[in-house]
A = this chain, B = another copy of it.
């Protein structure tokens, strides 16, 4: 069993939440997705395997996965919430192309220094962080 599933089952028992086929389907689709999908996109994929699933269930499930620490909401500025994997992933940052919407992830260890400096300055206890750089990617630049 994957570590993510372990985290999920632990979370379920710690919160007295029952298992369900639908939520399990949704989790599998989410965990196997390479990209950052919207609720609608997750819903379309899940529906292919299990025709009787409502969007509401996808909303409810993603909320649980976020609480469990497996997923994280991100907002790329196109007006749609998307979800990314959180468990066991380093905090990373995003380059977002404003022309084609392409997303590049990166990680720079200097961010940690900046965060700890500014947080101690303001006596702030950090929990999470997001960095997005908007611009034009190499392919769109040439056009």
Contact = CB atoms under 8 A, between A and B. Distances in A.
Interface of A: 73, 75, 77, 93, 95, 97-98, 104, 106, 108, 110-111, 113-115, 117-119, 121-138, 141
A98 to B, nearest CB: 7
27 contacts: A73-B77, A95-B118, A95-B119, A95-B124, A97-B124, A106-B118, A106-B121, A108-B114, A108-B117, A108-B118, A110-B110, A110-B114, A115-B133, A118-B133, A122-B138, A123-B141, A124-B135, A125-B136, A125-B141, A126-B133, A127-B135, A128-B133, A128-B134, A128-B135, A129-B133, A129-B134, A131-B131
A119 B131 contact: no
A114 B75 CA distance: 22
Given A106-B118, A123-B137, 20 more contacts: A73-B77, A104-B122, A104-B124, A108-B114, A108-B118, A110-B114, A118-B133, A122-B138, A123-B141, A124-B133, A124-B138, A125-B141, A127-B136, A128-B133, A128-B134, A128-B135, A130-B130, A130-B132, A130-B134, A131-B132
